[in-house]
Structure 1
Amino acid sequence: MLKGQKKKNLTDSECNSMVQHLLLRCTKAGKIPMGAADEVAQLFDCTPSTVRRIWRRASVNLSGSKTICRNVNQRKKSTCGRKRLHKDLPKRIQAIPQSRRYCFRSLAHALGMPKSTLHDYFKRGVFAKYSSVLIPALTESNNVCRLKWALDYVCDRDGAKYFDDMYDTVHVDEKWFFMTRLQKKVYGAIGEKIKQRACKSKHHLLKVMFLTAVARLRWDETCGEWFDRKLGTWHFTEINFLTLQRCLQEVILNKGGNDYKIPHMRKDVLHARGKLPEMVSCDRDAWSFGCAYLDGADYSAHMHKLSLEILQSMEMSAFCSQIEALNIVDDTDADDNLVAALGLVELSYE
């Protein structure tokens, strides 16, 4: 045991094992030879004086009596040690707002006590840690709307209530998959220099979106097999997203006048009034049909320039082109995560 190191309290099993080791080394007279206490002390990571004290407590008698040694269990009870200074800690914690109880630092500052002392009370089980999960903050009108939506699928058949089979309903949902995480564990050799990952912003990680349409599982009589519910899955490069700001800018450039509002001019007010959709989207076929329908002689070059500007203004335009071309060669993690994301999409709808 090193000098200045804090002594530890031996358990009952360690004390009994220590006496057994000393019995193997003791003489017929019941005394331990020189150096035996030091060897046993190294085995149990304690001082030789602790070994000799436990040996004296054992009072070994090898004269053939019924009891060879006495009980050497710890004499410290559960109520030993210093008295707690903060007996009403649970009540004081309950009186603190929950917004200040998410970390030890803020909680200790609110209680007016050191963080290390608070952590000691936590290890003793005075207070516990819970998980706080966000739930939808529904108002009364939201609950009524959800209940009305559910009641719309309840039908009356011969006086009995049944839920709609929803065979004529198609569910469309989008799935976002992040290509990486802010913090990841990497295992390597000793002294190896790990490659540093970098991105433009930690708040905007690269991600891929898949649009999936599913329906209810049913038996297909024409094919003679069960329909797997999945109508299709498309990654978001199949759809051209046009920002409303770009659309209004083109309208002003073509028609002139100042009767239109650009989204960055009081956008929140227009959105609150319900006059500003967040995004305008159209299918690729509709986009191609609209371009062919318009005068291609003068408008094709302008639309080509406009599409290039839209792609440049999109946040993930470069990554979209990489996904569409399947040409990810720089980031090995991106390749692995993309394959995992594709597998998750396939598994989630099988």
Structure 2
Amino acid sequence: MELEVVRVLDHEQEQQEQGQGQGQGQGGWQRPTLALTSQQKNLIAQFLLQRSKAGVLPRGSSAEAAKRFNIHKRTAERIWHISKQQIDRGEPVMMQGKAKCYQHKDKLILDGDKFRNMSMLERSTIRKVASKMEPTLAEGKLLYHSMHNIVHIDEKWFYMTKTSDRYYLLPDEDVPYRSCKSKRFITKVMFMAAVSRPLCGPDGEIIFDGKIGLFPFTEQVPAQRSSKNRPKGTIETKPIQSINKEVMTTCLLNQIIPTIKAKWPANASKKIFIQQDNVKPHLRAVDQQFESLASTDGFEFHLISQPPNSPDTNVLDLGYFRAIQLLQDDKQATSVDDLLRNVFTSFEELSPQTLNRVFITLQSCLTAILEMHGKNDYKIPHLNKDRLQRTEGLPLQFQVEEGLVRESLEYLKMPENNTGDTYDIWLLNHDLGY
């Protein structure tokens, strides 16, 4: 396995090298270097895709791309080879990392202490390094956080059947039979879901699918009386109808946290933020006892609460629960065990790409919330993600106008809008020069 190492320097090392390097290099020879950025490689890939016909590149296209973009012909051929592989796998054409040409050494001026706290996967590209450092301010725009170390949790009721449904039948077909004790009391089970943003490697392979797990609130109890289906004393699965803080805390500490530790990528950041809503059974955002119990084995967990009346700030409410529900509705259930099996199967059937798309929509909703000064009377932006995936590729992070962020900060600092919440905006104030 080939590993490319790019060295970075902090401020002190840069000053030392500048002092040692004075007087050197004159009359000497330095090997030429060439490093294409992801944006440049994407432009080359799109240029070649426009000239291809039915997945075949006409003769002379690589030479034409080499002349147009001032690169070697073999570099263009390698970019086309990678693009063709992504097309065959049904993935968007997206170039990441540097082109492998001459060996080189880049020098980046970074905060050394902050850089050392980053995992190896977060250092694979310059763009990832920039996103993990302080917010990037370039050409009047800021980048959203990539959200790879944020776990979204939320609860949802899944029902055995629906009160009303529609079926299309042929004239000689019978109406399907459904039985239920009462349409007002349909059997239901509450699930706690935990997801994070999927993590992809440099070649587009899925390193972590982001699907941490579904955790049903059920219990095993013996049957109190005999029936035609089972004798008395048979262990049955029953839904827990009353979900209090004790049940929620047990699920969080005994199921969600261990599952995160077991599934979390080895080289990813282990400082994890768990985002929840503000329902009463949930723990407080700052719970020292929870953090001390959960933060073991090298992990550091923190609870954060999303703003009130803002379901669109949680990827589960924003669209992922709906996607699970659509798949679960197509599966028949006659018992609680069937319902559990159907929901688990639907959760596994959803692809990591679907989850990643919801995170992209989340960033667009955050911009809309900034424009509305925190209100929720906006329409979810339509991004046409299918077209983006076919052409430019889905972005890792959206940009937001610097002026909009400054305006929102000024709005939050007004006395009538300062409600004493625990959200700390000092870092963003500092980065923008306040």
* Band of TM-score, shorter chain: under 0.3
User: Which of structures 1 and 2 has the larger relative contact order (alpha carbons within 8 angstroms, sep 6+)?
Assistant: 2
TM-score normalized by the length of structure 1: 0.25
TM-score normalized by the length of structure 2: 0.21
